[in-house]
Amino acid sequence: MANRKEKKDINIEELKQKESQKGSPENNLDKTIKQEDQQIEDTTKLMLKALADLENYKKLAKKEKEEIAKFSNSNIITEFLPVVDGLERAIDAAKKHDTVEHIQSGIELVLKQFKDALNKQGAEEIDALGKKYDPNLHEAISTKESEGEEDIVLEQLHKGYKLNGRLIRPAVVIISKKKGE
């Protein structure tokens, strides 16, 4: 029996040592709670920082968008300033010269400048005169009897325009129809 008592004493001693190494259950619980509280606090700080960063990004993006909208037409305006200059010179020339030829040549020059500026911005004319009617590019407002082929553009009242390949204004046209129909 002495053997048995020694074993119990050893076991009790081992348990005491293990228990003292572990600390009391209350201490372990307190440590765990403190660790979890610290993790929650750290996570909360990270989330608040991320929210602040997001708000700052939104404000910056909004400001940049406003700046882009505000100055997006500056390239187009820069392209048309020489046209304005040309019109002003044409008006001055019209005051100085009495001949229609001078005025006409000045207006033709300004028109060329204007078309060049449009082309630089990606605009292209749709010249429909004499071509087959295409409802994707033309708006027929009338028909005229003709000896030739049907659905040919006889008159163009307004040129059509594309911007970078996309139709922005159809050509307004009068198309042919067979005589007697």
Which residues, at least 6 apart from 132, have a Cβ–Cβ distance to it below 8 Å?
151, 152, 153
Nearest 5°: phi and psi at 173?
-135, 165
Q: Give the Cα separation of 60 and 53 in Å (integer).
A: 10
Q: Is the pLDDT of residue 22 over 60?
A: no
H or E segment to which residue 157 belongs = strand 153-158
Nearest 5°: phi and psi at 83?
-65, -45
Q: Give the Cα separation of 157 and 99 in Å (integer).
A: 28
pLDDT band at 11 (very low <50, low <70, confident <90, very high): low
Q: Which residue has the tokens 């081992």?
A: 14
Q: Where are the domains of the chain?
A: 123-181
> Does residue 128 or residue 101 have the better pLDDT?
128
Task: Return the pLDDT at 46.
Answer: 96
Task: Return the pLDDT at 181.
Answer: 55
Least confident segment among 1-10, 33-42, 133-142, 151-160? 1-10
Q: What is the pLDDT of residues 29-72, one digit of tens each?
A: 788 888 999 999 999 999 999 999 999 999 999 999 998 888 88
State which fold the 123-181 domain adopts.
Answer: Nucleotide Exchange Factor Grpe; Chain A, domain 2 (2.30.22)
Task: Return the pLDDT at 18.
Answer: 64
